[in-house]
Every structure is written in structure tokens, then in C-alpha cells.
Amino acid sequence: MSQYRTFTAQDAVAYAQQFGGLENPSSLVEAQEVGDGNLNLVFKIFDSQGVSRIIVKQALPYVRCVGESWPLTLDRARLEAETLVEHYQHSPQHTVKIHHFDPELAVMVMEDLSSHKIWRGELIGNVYYPQAARQLGEYLAHTLFHTSDFYLHPHTKKVRVAQFINPEMCEITEDLFFNDPYQIHERNNYPAALENDVAALRNDDQLKIAVASLKHRFFSQAEALLHGDIHSGSIFVAEGSLKAIDAEFGYFGPIGFDIGTAIGNLLLNFCGLPGHLGIRDAAAGREQRLLDIQQLWTTFAERFQALAAEKSRDAALSVPGYASEFLKKVWQDAIGFCGTELIRRSVGLSHVADIDTIQDDEMRHECLRHAITLGKALIVIADRIDSVEALLARVRQYS
């Protein structure tokens, strides 16, 4: 019989005392539930001096923002913990550290990041972290290369693919990214003023064929162990530091999906900044987002190719020039997946504060339209955007 029970704050304190690895566990005295996501309970555990020392996270057996009518597997907690442990092995400076995991309780104890801030909030506030985009590119290069066919023995890779099968969480992605926004669905969430814009998505056959191709790639291309949801709300930043968290969507999929999701969230901020700062004052911040995208991709591509030249173990994949050709495909995938992120965050169930917190209704609607228009363009013409410079030119064209 399962030992699962939903934690209270007192349960979280007791668990942290037992498994937090602190020299003086009795100093942990209080917990505060701070989870603002859709899937989990997250407790900050404080010591007697009021200092947050450790995090206890528990998966709920349903989608939190919907309720028990949308059940979810608790195995996602294992997949999250194992994804983060694997990513920490290859990029410890940019991955949250997991101290302990219990699959029966779907609970993990992890490093406290109170010294950091969630990147999305900082982007909305126009607070700039000069190293963040480069660090994200480093994280993606190391985690994706070291879990790919370039590095893993084929036998090991096949075992890992099976280990990280994540059908229920992948189904959420498949629905929210590739299905819901392009049909009438009760999960969709957008202002009535955008009905014509959304109807145009449903009636665009060229767009829907391109989205079908992206979904097929998401289904079938087990290229590397993805984070699976690497948006600016799942990244903590501080001066000189960046840490990825929340990897419950981790699975082996197309490398371009993680890249595209990351770029898409920077573009969502690009679309939303005028609503927070005004059109004139947002100009510098928007240009910085484009430079961040350029730095993210350039860092990723250069580091991935360097790792491929140094560490590739497969004779065929080690042929000079192949890694560069492979990254051309990754880039094209990333552009398409970036477009689906822009659209699903504007039309579908899960929005982003970059746009949703804009107070003026008319401005918020315009920012949403911008994201939808840009997302549609990127999906349809992904094969014509052959460089990051070409992407930035297209974004400026649609601004």
C-alpha cells in the first residue's frame, strides 16, 4: 500500500530535519508553503533565526490549478528528481542540488535558493543580469550534449530513454503546445477581444500542418534528456549565478524543444515590456532581450560544438563538420518550438506574468496579439530563418 499523504507545514519541517543534511537539524522550526505553480507543494523551511535553509517539494496527485478532476501521476516527482540529478552531474553550477528523494511520498529535499530571484520577475522589472543568457546557454549545452548520442554509448542511451519515459507529462505538453490553441477547447484562455485572432489560427491550414510536424518531432525524436519546461519562471538568478529548477517534464526529446522554449520566453518578455514600461521606455529592454537571445544561442552552439569535438564517442558522429550540420537542424526545430511557446502562452491554459500582469486592457491585448502574430510567423517560416541574426531581423520586422 502506498505511504503517500499530502504534507502539512509540520510534516515538511520534520522531513527537512531528517533528510536536509544540516549539522543541527533541530534548528529547523517552521515551514512556509510558497508554491505558485500548477503541480506541486513547495515549502521553505526556516531555522530559529528566521533564515530559510532548505526546500521541501511534494508532487500532488492532480493539477493544482484545476483540482482533482485532472489527476496526474506521482511518478513525475521521480522523473523530476532524476532529471535534476542527471543535469547536476553535467552542469552543477547551473542546476539546483537535490539532497534527498522519496518516491513513495513523491517528496524531494533540495538546495535553498533564497539568495536568488526568479528570472521572470526580474525580466518584467527590467532588472538586467549580464551573465544570465550565457549561463543558460552553458547549462543547455552541457546537459543536452552529455545525454545525447554524441556522448552516451548506444546501449546506455536506450536504457536512459526507457528510464525517463514520461507519458502523462508529455501528454500535457502535447495538448497545450500543439493541440488546444488550434481548436476550440475549454482549456483555452484568452480575452474575447482576441477571438478573431484565435479563430485565424484554427482556420490556417498551413500553420496547422507546420504545428503537426513539430508535434511529430516532439513525439519521435529522443535526442537528449530535456528539462522539458525551461522557461524564465523555472530559472533562478543572482549576480553571477543561474540555477534551473522544476524539471517534472523531463524526458528524452528533440534538443530544439528546450532551446525554443527558452528563446520563446525571452520573446514573451519582449512582447510584454511595452505594457509595463511604456513603448518608449521599453525600447532598450526589448533590444536587450534580442541580444540575450543571440548570446544564449551563440553560447549554446559554440559550447556544444566544442564538447562534440572533445568528447564525442561515436565514430560517425565524430566526423568533423557533422556537429555543425546537426545544430542547423536543432536551430530550425528551435524556431518552430519557440513559435508554439508564444502562441500557447497567449491562447492556451497557462499564461505568463510578462503579459498577464499588464494593467491596461487595451495594451495587454496588443501585447497578446503581438505574441500570437510573431509565434505564427516563426512556425510557418522556420525553415527560412537560418541564423540567430535572421531571427532577430524577423522579430524586429514584426514589432
Q: Which residues are annotated as a binding site for substrate?
A: 229, 344
Quick one: CA dihedral 176, 179, 182, 186, positive or negative?
negative
Closest CA to 224 of 171, 297, 150: 150
**Helix or strand or coil: residue 83?**
helix
> Hey, what's the cell of 270?
519582449
The beta strands (E) that lie in 77-202 are given as 98-102, 107-111, 117-118
**Residue 176 DSSP symbol:** I
List, as own/partner pairs, every contact residues 218-221 make where C-beta atoms lie below 8 angstroms and the sequence separation is at least 24, other chains included. 218/170, 218/173, 218/174, 218/177, 218/178, 218/253, 218/254, 218/257, 218/337, 219/174, 221/253, 221/254
Query: CA angle, corner 354, sides to 348 and 355, nearest 5?
Result: 55
Beta carbons of 29 and 43 less than 8 angstroms apart: no
Beta carbons of 284 and 118 less than 8 angstroms apart: no
Closest CA to 247 of 261, 264, 223, 228: 228
Residue numbers in the known binding site for ATP are 40, 57, 111-113, 246-248
Beta carbons of 300 and 223 less than 8 angstroms apart: no
Q: Which parts of 56-153 fold into alpha helices (H)?
A: 75-90, 119-124, 132-146
Residue numbers in the known binding site are 40, 57, 111-113, 229, 246-248, 344
> Hey, what's the cell of 186?
475549454
